[in-house]
Amino acid sequence: MTTSDSPAPTTSRDRVGIVVVSHSEALALAAVALGTQMVQDDEPTVEVAAGVDGGFGTDAVAIKAGIERADSGAGVLVLVDMGSAVLSTELAIEMLDDPAMHERVTVSPAPLVEGLVTAAVAAAGGASLAEVDTEARNATAGKVAHLGGTSPEEARTEPSSGGTDDSGVVAVFRVRNEHGLHARPASRLVNEVRRLDADVELTNVTVAAGPVPADSLSRVATLGAQVDHELRVRAVGPQAQEAVDRLVALAERRFDEPESTEVVQESTDRDDRSAPGEPGRSGALPGAPGVAIGPARHLVRAPAQAVEEPVGSPAEERERLEVAREAVRREIRKSRDLAARTAGDEEAAIFDAHLTLLDDSAILDSVRERVDDGTGAADAWSQTMTDLQHTWEELPDAYLRERAADIAALRQQVLETLTGVSGFELSAPGVLIARDLTPAQTARLDVSLVRGVVLAEGSPTSHAAILARAREIPLVVSAGSDVLDVADGKTVVLDGTTGEVDLAPDEDTVARFEATAAEQRELQRAQVSEAQREAVTADGVRVVVGANLGSVADAEAGNAMGADTAGLVRTEFLFLDRSSPPDEDEQTRQYLDLSAAMGGRSLTLRTLDVGGDKPLPYQPAGTELNPFLGRRGVRLSLHEPDLLRAQLRAACRVAREAPISVMVPMVSTPSELGAVRTLLDEAAGSEGVPACLRFGMMVEVPSAALKIDAFAPYLDFVSIGTNDLTQYAMAAERGNADVEDLSDPLDPGVLRLVASVAGVSSSVTVGVCGEAAADDLAVPLLLGLGIRELSVAPPAVPRVKHRIRRLDTAQCTSLAEHALDLEDATQVRDLVRKELPPR
């Protein structure tokens, strides 16, 4: 019992918090489980910031967030495992928004496991930050005393191959790799060192170069280590002996590089070589309609320019750099995973060197020093990487000199992310040939130069394909790696409607494509001329055709193309590519601008749909092994409700001036929908939700489609997102070239899910806003299943209306019933082509 003369008991709110920073999430979680098990009651707050994208590494942004969560005012003790974890933690502390927090954070040199156990017990008992740190530092005292040894820092043992000197464990190994210690084996060496609690340096004894830190790929490369050169390794620290033994063993194994394998070109230029494909692969698929004829053109890299003046303070510039590095890290990992799937681990290993360089301590130290001196993040990164590139270009070995291209590529990639300017351009008008395109690259294509696009990889449902359709760029995907060998300037023809590609057309073929293009242009003119009319079927059924919007320019195009409504407004366009979210006032202005551009027609605002492949740079997400099945859409919004509240308040304000609908994405359970509806009621305030504001959800999750009646009490309308619904129903990732044949919304299984949703209560309107809504073969099936609202990219509105006017709903119903009993999407498409061919 507490008396007036005794101190008040420490509560969980004013205890010292603990943050565990480790390169391995599994290690950190296991350590926390052990450490907190020692505390019977009143566990202290312990946060984990460990691993990057399911792999090894540390992230300053995640560490910063962990410190902020752990801070109750009594201080935060940070325990780190090794190497760059210390650097990342120091950066995280500098990034803290509250300067007062800097004094409340202590980074402890204590051993991770033993230190966490004793720190957790001390913190639970109400000890001060200094006392908790002292307990953690002394955690191994009992073990040292029992074993009769010295402290870990002083301990040294005899190496298995080498010996000791006055300053550590040493050994000498010979480089046996045919091309020396180039980027891939050097990356393997560096990553091995980074896993261990030891300071390791290398010296090239043969040419008297070094010593250099072994955890820096950029510095290891300067040793110029060629085949048969001898390297001396020296290590100090708790795992010094293990570090030396492992490097000697690695060298004996030729750093795990196969003897018979020639070293491949190690360039990450993302135009053609970022993800090798299967040679000779066939099966080109239509990506975006239209015919293109012209000379083959390949993307060339145009240097991104650094920003001379800093955008913010040194701390803000450092944070910008960390956000950019994290984005690039995700992009490289995606490229590596795709390369591993299509060409094997040996080809994919070229990306490991670039991931290693991205976390290179020597590079980061140089960049941060420049930033601290007042240089902007982009300029500091550019200067550092340019200097390093010049250093590598002067290396004596010709093969290693060529690896300077890796530095240039990484410099470019991070600069593009920092500046938001694409480093690729088309050299001249023609048909673009590329391995694949990112959404950003597709969005930035100059339509005055690009007549069409042929991709060796890709999928008809990828974001690049969606953007190509929205921009009216004829596109063929999955054409196979042979297309990459087409010489620049050679005539190429393609039909994005059928997927036909001819890389060496004769005169008759060119003439045939030209005739098809002329017919399409004439048909398009006829469709546009009648676009402002309603879409009414031959038997008198009206179908609403709306436009999918992602900007005011899209809204203007939708209005011009005769869209009846804005069936989908992708509001994330306001939230991406910026350092902070838009506030309520900015959103209100933007939504009103969209309404005006659409001529006052109704807008359907999809609440923020991020996560998965669309992360927010200012809203760091935890590591997820499969982000597409993780916290995205409504799940993220309910986890971060402040973002959702501001968006709902803006929607209510706009609804008092213009017709508005609010649509919730990625809904799985009625409770999620109910939670958003409660927030909407709160956002509306005392005036209540405006009468003209309609509330609905997207159906993208198969289970939601099958239990649609459970959601009906909350709903005014439903919109089916066929892209994600197909992805989840078919277990086929969108954009994955290996499974694109499964990613077809006309599979009978997917159509049955659509039919289930269409059967919901008659009080709920059902529409489709996925890519199937713009598919000429899908439209009659959707109408036959009962869909009466379609929303498509603005350029597709006239074509879809034209298609609807020539259909009879009774015939469509019979066709849809037949399609549900077929085996696969191929049979369904063949059926529609036979019975109701597009005209």
Residues 34 and 142 occupy one common structural domain: yes
In a domain, 429, yes or no: no
H/E stretch holding 5 reads: none
Instruction: Using the predicted structure, report yes or no on whether residue 612 has a pLDDT greater than 80.
Output: no
Instruction: Using the predicted structure, report yes or no on whether residue 270 has a pLDDT greater than 50.
Output: no
Q: How confident is the model over 443-466, as pLDDT tens digits?
A: 667 788 899 999 988 777 666 787
The CATH number of the domain holding residue 77 is: 3.40.50.510
Give yes or no for a contact between 478 and 459, defined as CB atoms under 8 angstroms apart: yes
Residues 644 and 771 occupy one common structural domain: yes
Q: What is the pLDDT of residue 114?
A: 78
Give yes or no for a contact between 687 and 733, defined as CB atoms under 8 angstroms apart: no
pLDDT band at residue 262, thresholds of 50, 70 and 90?
very low
3-class SS of residue 570: strand
In a domain, 125, yes or no: yes
The CATH number of the domain holding residue 695 is: 3.20.20.60
SS3 content of the chain, % helix, strand, coil (to 5): 45, 15, 40
The CATH number of the domain holding residue 186 is: 3.30.1340.10
- How far is residue 85 from each of residues 19, 27, 51, 241, measured CA to CA in Å? 12, 14, 10, 21
429 Cβ contact partners less than 8 Å away, ≥ 6 residues apart: 294, 295, 297, 448, 449, 450, 451
Residue numbers annotated as active site: 463, 769
- How far is residue 605 from each of residues 339, 652, 682, measured CA to CA in Å? 37, 11, 18
In a domain, 349, yes or no: yes
Beta strands per DSSP E along 40-125? 46-50, 76-80, 105-108
pLDDT band at residue 7, thresholds of 50, 70 and 90?
very low
In a domain, 73, yes or no: yes
Instruction: Using the predicted structure, report yes or no on whether residue 695 has a pLDDT greater than 90.
Output: yes
Residues 202 and 227 occupy one common structural domain: yes
**In total, how many domains does the chain have?**
4
In a domain, 339, yes or no: yes
- Higher per-residue pLDDT: 58 or 585: 585
Residues 594 and 731 occupy one common structural domain: yes
728 Cβ contact partners less than 8 Å away, ≥ 6 residues apart: 700, 701, 702
Give yes or no for a contact between 753 and 704, defined as CB atoms under 8 angstroms apart: no
pLDDT band at residue 600, thresholds of 50, 70 and 90?
very high
- Higher per-residue pLDDT: 167 or 69: 69
Q: How confident is the model over 139-154, as pLDDT tens digits?
A: 665 555 445 444 433 3
Residues 200 and 252 occupy one common structural domain: yes
In a domain, 509, yes or no: no
Please state whether the predicted TM-score (pTM) of the whole model is above 0.85: no
Residues 589 and 723 occupy one common structural domain: yes
What is the distance in angstroms between the CA of the first residue and the CA of the last residue of the chain?
86
In a domain, 461, yes or no: no
Instruction: Using the predicted structure, report yes or no on whether residue 815 has a pLDDT greater than 90.
Output: yes
DSSP 362: H
Among residues 590, 581, 701, 588, the alpha carbon closest in space to that of 641 is found at: 581
Alpha helices, H only, 435-539 = 439-443, 463-470, 507-529
Highest-pLDDT range among 77-86, 422-431, 723-732: 723-732
Q: How confident is the model over 359-385, as pLDDT tens digits?
A: 787 888 888 888 888 888 888 888 888
Residues 591 and 738 occupy one common structural domain: yes
Domain final residue, candidates 256, 276, 294: 256
Residue type, 231: L
The CATH number of the domain holding residue 381 is: 1.10.274.10
Among residues 773, 729, 772, 723, the alpha carbon closest in space to that of 752 is found at: 729
Domain final residue, candidates 385, 419, 453: 419
Highest-pLDDT range among 72-81, 177-186, 661-670: 661-670
Residues 654 and 753 occupy one common structural domain: yes
Among residues 791, 662, 658, the alpha carbon closest in space to that of 715 is found at: 662
In a domain, 454, yes or no: no
Q: What is the pLDDT of residue 344?
A: 45
Q: What is the pLDDT of residue 41?
A: 55
Beta strand 717-720 pairing with 694-699 = parallel
Q: How confident is the model over 460-511, as pLDDT tens digits?
A: 766 678 778 877 899 999 888 788 888 888 999 999 888 899 988 999 999 9
Instruction: Using the predicted structure, report yes or no on whether residue 22 has a pLDDT greater than 60.
Output: yes
Specify which residues 718 forms β-bridges with: 697, 766
| Domain extent at residue 813 | 527-835
Token pair recorded at residue 129: 């930050």
Residues 601 and 689 occupy one common structural domain: yes
Q: How confident is the model over 383-408, as pLDDT tens digits?
A: 888 888 887 777 665 555 656 666 77
Give yes or no for a contact between 588 and 654, defined as CB atoms under 8 angstroms apart: yes
Residues 135 and 72 occupy one common structural domain: yes
Report, as an integer, the average pLDDT of 234-240.
87
Dist CA 127 CA 373 (whole Å): 39
Cβ density class 491-500: b for 16+ within 10 Å, e for less: bbbbbbbebb
Beta strands per DSSP E along 443-590? 450-455, 475-477, 491-495, 500-502, 535-536, 542-549, 566-570
**567, burial (CB in 10 Å: exposed 0-12, middle 13-18, buried 19+):** buried
Residues 29 and 127 occupy one common structural domain: yes
Residues 369 and 398 occupy one common structural domain: yes
Q: What is the pLDDT of residue 639?
A: 86
Q: Is the peptide bond before 702 cis (omega within 30 degrees of 0)?
A: no
Domain final residue, candidates 92, 113, 147: 147
